[in-house]
Amino acid sequence: MSLKLRLLTTAFAALATAAVHAEDKAAPAVSPQELKAKTDYCKTCHGISGQGFRGSFPMPRLAGQQPEYVKKQLQAFIERQRTNPVMFNVAHVLSPAMVTALSTYFKDLNPKPLGGAPKELVTAGKTIYGEGVPQGNVPACSACHGADAKGKGEFPRLAGQLYPYVVRELTDWSKERSQNPDKPDTSAGMQPIAHSLTEPQVKAVAAYLSTLE
């Protein structure tokens, strides 16, 4: 690379960094009071520590979730990339600053998993998570979500997630997510995997994940 090109590249990088910092400074800050009011509202469905809620309609665990994933999913609800009438109404009123604040807030919560899954399925689920299902062309879940199932970046934490919630999501994947094929996100890669898992395999993986801390 020529000296001139290196200088131009450095200059563009500096400008981009400056623009990001300027944008961050320009963004209105979320006060502690505003954040508390919003997180208190989240707790009505997702539990007092973000641990999720087992009921006729299970609410997912948000505690310990990857900030980038939470942010992407809130934006997906706002843009109707994910179909969920309740979360659309919740998310579409959030400012960009609040979306960022909420995404960061849940990361540090770490309550015990709620449990409640059939214990006899856990061993089979652990095998699928760590090795996949070769005969079904299903890769190991750990390849993206990590050996500890705590995720990274846009790949979500699965550890401690509610058994009935994971079962429902994997069973009905295409009914809620990736609704706009022209704007695919990371979750689009899960569609063929979810469709390739049998019902017993889905339940086994969900049972295993629900035991992880």
- Calculate the alpha carbon distances from 135 to 25, 139, 160, 162, 198 in Å: 52, 10, 27, 27, 12
What is the structure's pLDDT at 178? 65
- Provide the pLDDT for residue 17: 43
pLDDT of residue 159: 98
CA nearest to 155, candidates 67, 74, 80, 83:
67
Determine the Cα–Cα distance for residues 156 and 149; give it in Å rounded to an integer: 8
Report H helices in 93-151.
Answer: 96-105, 122-131, 142-145
How high is the pLDDT of residue 179?
Answer: 63
Residue segments in the chain with a per-residue pLDDT below the cut of 50 = 1-26
Query: Residue 153's pLDDT is what?
Result: 93
Residue with tokens 């919560």: 109
Which pLDDT score, from 0 to 100, does residue 53 have?
Answer: 95
Write down the CATH superfamily of domain 29-108.
Cytochrome c-like domain (1.10.760.10)
Report DSSP letters for 148-159, one per residue: TS--BTTBPP-T
Task: Say what the pTM is.
Answer: 0.83
CA neighbor of 77 nearest in space, from 178, 151, 208? 178
Domain boundaries, the chain: 29-108, 119-209
Q: 1.10.3720.10, 1.10.10.10, 1.10.760.10, 1.20.1250.20: which CATH number matches 119-209?
A: 1.10.760.10
Q: Which pLDDT score is estimated for 3?
A: 44
Q: Do domains 29-108 and 119-209 have the same CATH topology?
A: yes
- For 115-153, write each residue's pLDDT tens digit: 999 999 999 999 999 999 999 999 999 999 999 999 999
- pLDDT (tens digit per residue) in 70-91: 999 999 999 888 888 889 999 9
pLDDT, residue 27, reads 52
What per-residue confidence (pLDDT) applies to 49? 96
Two tokens at 166? 């994971």
Q: Rg (Cα) of the chain, in Å, rounded?
A: 20
How far, in Å, CA of 140 to CA of 108, rounded? 27
